Each structure stands twice: as structure tokens, then as C-alpha cells.
A and B are shown apart, each in its own frame.
Chain A
């Protein structure tokens, strides 16, 4: 592997972690949205807040990591994606502001109307942000973002069948991961009734996401034949692994093996996420811009990899400690946050 390939893998690891960690935080917002009226939904909202409170900021940094690695390692790809997909990315950015700000504002406010207002902003933006990010993925995967500044169609690049599929799938996956993680969190917080509720939702969302994927196969075949070819060719083992892990997760949910399903559900999502780049490699922007052509100069790739390696030594143990603290922290149903 050359430096550009390694950096691409590192970037994709970052994107996977963003999806698995921050994705679940967004999913928490989705369940917050449908938790019901203020009083009835209170226990669920408390649990969601307890689960994502200490970690969401650290999880969010993975997105910045991916953006920075993309512009450092593959600047023409960054410029093309950001300029053509100006509209959905601006909307996603606004969703990120609304989500993060509203979440802390809700925690800092004491009156019900404020909590409702900030809570609604938090929950709504938790749905919209992954949706728009999903449309961006669909736009790139279906080859609608050509190299160059704003060279693609400003609107149809992200309003098309594959992008909409990407958006719906992103929201579905976030909600699914959150429900799975929350089952385990609820059991640990000694709230078996809530765990049952999230288990039902995890099963339902899992089936829903599965159905969207099955339908999506037809959409991709018709709308993005090149991607379809890759997914059913070189990336087929990963696609199959994703499907098997998805079914296994449903079985584990059925048997209430919450810790195990945390792992298999995350692995299922990761398998599908790695299928995409494998399907189109070495092309970064279909039809023709390859990794080698887009990559920065060797000195930049080397320096970036070195810095990230040292950074990992700092970040990985600290993050493990943070997650440990969060898992060990006792759940206090009366506490606010």
C-alpha cells in the first residue's frame, strides 16, 4: 500500500467511527423526537440524555477529522464535493449547529417550555442532519459529483433516487444503532421496561432498514449501474457479510443478548460502509478521478500520517477512558443529565 491508500483507509476508519458513534447520538435524537408528550416521554429522554451527554462532543470530532483528512489528502475531491453539494452540506451544517446547541441548552434550562423548545430543535435536527449527509453519500456514490469547482448539477446531484435512498438509510441506521445501544444502557440503568421498549423499536427499525436496503438494490441497479456492478462484484462478500450480521443482530435482539447485539449491529453497518469504497476503488469521484490522481504530494501524505499516528496514541486511550467512565457512571433517574 502507498501513503495515499493508507490515508484513504484511515479516513474511512474515521468515517466508520463517526457513523457508529455519532450516528447513534443522532439516533438518540430520533427516538427523543418520537418519545411522546413531555411527561410520558420523560424517562426515555432522561436515558437518552444520560447515554449521549458525556460523549457526543468527542464523537462529533470524527466528522471534523474526516473533513480535514479529505482536504489535506485529496484536495480536488474535497473542493468538488463541497462546491457541487453546497446546498445539502449547508443544511447539514445548520443541523449540526442546531443539534449541538439545543442539546446543551436543554440541559441548562429549567423550565418546561424551554426544555420543549430546545428539545424539539435537538430532535428535529437529529433527523435532518443524517438525512442530508446521506444524500451527499448518494450523490458521490452515484457519480453525480464530477471533479472541478461546482461542476455538477447543484440540485439534481443530491435530489435523485440514490441520494434519497442514502438519506433514508442514514436516518434508519442512526435510529437502529441508537435503539440497540439504548437496550443495553437501559438494562444497565436498571430500567427493564424501557429496555423492552427499545428492543421492540430496534427490531422494527432493523426490519425497516432491511426492507429499505432490499428495495434499494433495485433503485441502485436502475439509477447507479456502475455502483451496482461494484457492489455485486468485488464488494459482494462485504454486502453478504452485512446481511448476515444484520439477521444475526435481529436474532440476538430477540433473545435479549444486548451486549452481543451492540457488536454485531455495529459490524453490520461497518460492513456495508466498507462495501461502498471497495465497489468503486480506485475511483474516488466516478467516473474517472482516481485515488492516485487526487492524492496530495508525498511529503504531505507522510507528514499527515505521522501526525495522525502520534495523535492516535494520545486519543485512543483517552477516549477509552471516557467511555469507561460513562459506562460506569450510575444512572440517577432524578438527576437532570
Chain B
């Protein structure tokens, strides 16, 4: 019939040739989710961390009447406005994809993890409303009222991150419900939200967000200073964000240790994959690098007893290896292990850089003199982003083959429609364009001549 016939022909060519939902479709769904989640995480980190920088600079400007601080606040506000909008839409896509790609998860467990998302929705409302007030109210509100209007943006941003990560934590530690005939009963949404994985995961992620925003922003000014723009404005533009990174770097190393010890107790398969440990043993070594081949980790640098010492403070501590996990339930080892090493390596790199910075500041109230400090600080922006992505690879790939740990396999969560790969291709293309446009616009913003001076000084 008219519409149906013509459309069917097109769709047959496009969709049905792929056959019914296949392994390729599932790979496509995972790729699409990984891409849109990995993309959004960067924006989300900026959304959580930027308000701290903005408010610090504006507070400084109001308190001291410093024009440079006000110019920085205004520039960062512009950048935050763009990043927040892009983050808002890339976050919306994720809520669509929860159903488009994983209806098998949401149809059963949607109600168990719904509460934190409802809370996140409220936080997102608050964030969106006050970012509107903050960005558009600059010349329409008295200075202190304007500064205060930014506080809800900060609080709601941190709260959003907390709520969303509790839902992910639940996927690692699914509690708070009983399964009966394929439907959940006796749901306790608060218990599900405050599951055992919630404290380590949320703390680790929120601190990571502050570090990403600090490092990325500082990197922009480090590059400018390397190019010779060493005036007060650029120095301050480096100091404020890098101080935030430096404050959180040691905290993050401790939180990372806490998260790893948590895995040893609650998700040993993930820790075993992250450390590339196949055999359950005491005196387990800490393996750096290497590849998993035929049930063992090859070409790794081993620190004897390292892992046992880290997990239980004693070489005699027994650490569970992958041999305790049925082969069908093991996560892919090489990817998780290398991602873990990357994250930890960058964490220590940022810690050392922060110590260098703190030492110089403590001695001379100044930045380290070496150009190498600025070069490494410039690298730290990219490095912090890589570390966050690597951390999510550990947490998400390390949970495979489960979507809900021990309860629901990813294969049973995926949308059974054919042709998911076609959607993944289209979404990938859109994200490529979005990435190019975002980078381009942000670079233009960074280079644009600074027109708006502080309100209290004449232009």
C-alpha cells in the first residue's frame, strides 16, 4: 500500500539485510553506548568542576576589585555556557539510549534504579535554571546576588554526579529487590541507591570530575604561558584551576586505593581482571602492563608481593584470581588491565606534578621555574581526561559479561531489533561532527579578544 510499500523497500535495504539481532548488533549497541557515555563524561566533569573555578574567580573579583579575576570569570562563564548546553543534550541522549539500546535492563529494573534518576532530574532542573540565571543575570543582578546564583549550579552539579553514579554502582552491587517470575518485587529504592558500591564509586568520580575540570582549564593557560603570554591574567588563569587539581590529587590516590580494596571484597573478578591476576594466591605480585594470552599475563613487569600488600597490607594476603570465575563469566582481561594501569599511572603523574607545584609555592610563592613544569601541566589536561575514560573502561568492561552484576547478562539487556549497527554508524557520525564543532567553537572562544571588562572598571 502507498506509504508502506515504498518505505518497506527502503527499510529492507537498510535494516533487514543485517538479519535479526546478532553479535554484531550487540557489539554495535555497546560501542554506541560507550561512545555517547564516554563523550558525555568529559562534559559532565567540566559541568561539575567549572562552577568552582567560576565562583572562585568571581568571588576574588568582588572581594578585591581585581579586573583580571573578573575577566577570567566572564570568559569561563562563556565556556561553561557552551559546555553545559552540549552536556545537557549529550546527557539527554543517554536517557534515550537506556531504553533504545537496553530495554531488557530497563523493562525489568527501571523501577529499581528510577529513584536516583528522579533525583538527578530535579538536580538537573536546578542546574539548568540557575545556569540560565547566572549567565543571563550578569548585568541584571547585584554582584553578590549574582555570585550566589552560581552556588546552586555547583551544588546541583555535584548532586547530579552523585545520583547518576549511584545507579551505576547499583549495576555493580544490585541490592534492594527480590526477583519473582521475571518481575521484581519487594523493591527498596533507597537501599538500591545506597548500595555497597555507592561510597567508593561516587567519591572517586566526583573528585575525578574536579581534577578533570582543573587540569583541562589549567592546560589552556599553560600552553598560553609557554607561548610567552606570562601576564597576570594568564598566570591567574593557570593558578586557580591547577590549585584545584593539586588539592584533589592526593585525595584521589587514597580514594583509588579505597575503591580497589572494595573490589577485592565485593567484585573480585573485576579486580583480578584489572590486575591481570589469573591464579588465586598469597604473595600476589603487582603486574604493570602486559597482555593476557592463554590464561596468563605475559610481558608484564612484576613487583613481587605488591598486590597482596596493597589489598591486605601483608604478603600473606590471598587475592582471588580469575580461576575462581567460570570462563563464561570472565571480563576481557587485557583491555581492563591496561585501562587500569593507565588510570593509576596518570593518577600518580598528577600527584607528582601537584607535589612539585606545592613545593615551589611553599618555598617561593611562585610557580616552578622550569619550562618542563608548564609542559607537563599542559599535558595534564589531556591526561586527566584519558584517566577518567580509562577508569570507566575498568568499571564498565570489568563488569562484563554482566549488565547487572550476577543478575542480568548484557546479551539479555540489549534491544533485540535488527540493524542496531546502522544506528551506531549514524550516531558515531553525528558525534564526530559534534566533536569537531565543539572543539572549533571552544578554540574560537579561547582566542576571541576579551571585550567585556569588569563592570567596576571603565572599558
Contacts and interface: CB of A to CB of B under 8 A. Distances in A.
Interface of A: 53-55, 57-58, 60-61, 63-65, 67-69, 71-73, 75-76, 78-83, 86-87, 89-90, 92-94, 96-101, 103-105, 108-110, 118, 149-150, 154-156, 159-161, 164, 296-297, 299-300, 303-304, 307-308, 310-311, 314-315, 318-319, 321-322, 325-326, 328-329
A82 B414 CA distance: 12
A71 B114 contact: yes
A61 B110 contact: no
A83 B128 contact: no
Contacts of B328: none
Interface in B82-104: 82, 84-86, 88-93, 95-100, 103-104
Q: Per DSSP, are chain A's interface residues mostly helix, strand or loop, or mixed?
A: helix
Contact of A89 (B96, B426, B437): B96
Given A60-B92, A299-B188, 14 more contacts: A60-B128, A61-B128, A68-B114, A71-B106, A71-B110, A75-B106, A79-B108, A83-B415, A93-B96, A101-B437, A108-B445, A149-B103, A296-B187, A318-B125
B423 A90 contact: yes
Interface in B400-459: 415-418, 420, 423, 426-427, 430, 434, 437-438, 441, 444-445, 448
A325 B140 CA distance: 8
A55 B190 CA distance: 32
Contact of A68 (B11, B95, B190, B415): B95
7 contacts: A75-B107, A78-B107, A79-B107, A90-B423, A104-B82, A108-B82, A297-B111
Interface in B174-190: 184-190
B88 A60 contact: yes
Nearest to B417: A150
Interface stretch (B56-64, B131-139, B223-231): B131-139
Given A72-B115, A303-B189, A304-B118, A54 B136 contact: yes
A300 B187 contact: yes
A328 B139 CA distance: 12
* Residue of B91, B140, B418 with most partner-chain A CB within 10 A: B140
A164 B417 CA distance: 22
Nearest to B141: A325
B255 interface: no
Contacts of A98: 430
B119 A307 contact: yes
Contacts of A54: 132-133, 135-136
B30 interface: no
Contacts of A310: 122
B235 interface: no
Contacts of B220: none
Interface stretch (B1-9, B269-277, B345-353, B383-391): B1-9
A83 B110 CA distance: 14
B103 A108 contact: no
A96 B109 CA distance: 26
Nearest to A101: B86
Given A72-B118, A304-B114, A311-B122, A108 B129 contact: no
Interface of B: 3-4, 7-8, 11, 15, 78, 81-82, 84-86, 88-93, 95-100, 103-104, 106-112, 114-115, 117-122, 124-126, 128-133, 135-137, 140, 152, 184-190, 415-418, 420, 423, 426-427, 430, 434, 437-438, 441, 444-445, 448
A297 B184 contact: yes
Contact of B118 (A83, A97, A155, A308): A308
Contacts of B15: 154-155
A71 B100 contact: no
Nearest to A75: B110
Nearest to B99: A82
A325 B136 contact: yes
A15 B428 CA distance: 29
A164 B132 CA distance: 35
Contacts, number: 251
Nearest to B184: A297
Contacts of B437: 101, 105, 118
B177 to A, nearest CB: 8
B125 A61 contact: yes
A321 B115 CA distance: 27
A198 B345 CA distance: 60
A138 to B, nearest CB: 13
Nearest to B112: A300
Contacts of B426: 90, 94
Nearest to A150: B417
Contacts of B133: 54, 318, 321-322, 325
Contacts of A89: 96, 99-100
Given A297-B186, A307-B119, A319-B125, A93 B132 contact: no
B8 A155 contact: yes
Contact of B11 (A90, A149, A155): A155
A284 to B, nearest CB: 14
Contacts of B117: 68, 71-72
A92 to B, nearest CB: 8
A297 B185 contact: yes
A75 B190 contact: no
Contacts of B126: 314-315, 318
A318 B129 CA distance: 7
B78 A300 contact: no
A325 B137 contact: yes
A57 B186 contact: no
Contact of A159 (B7, B118, B119, B136): B7
A63 B140 CA distance: 29
Contacts of A97: 89-90, 92-93, 430, 434
Given A150-B417, A159-B3, A104 B103 contact: no
Contacts of A71: 98-99, 106, 110-111, 114, 117
* Residue of A75, A108, A150, A322 with most partner-chain B CB within 10 A: A75
Contacts of A69: 118
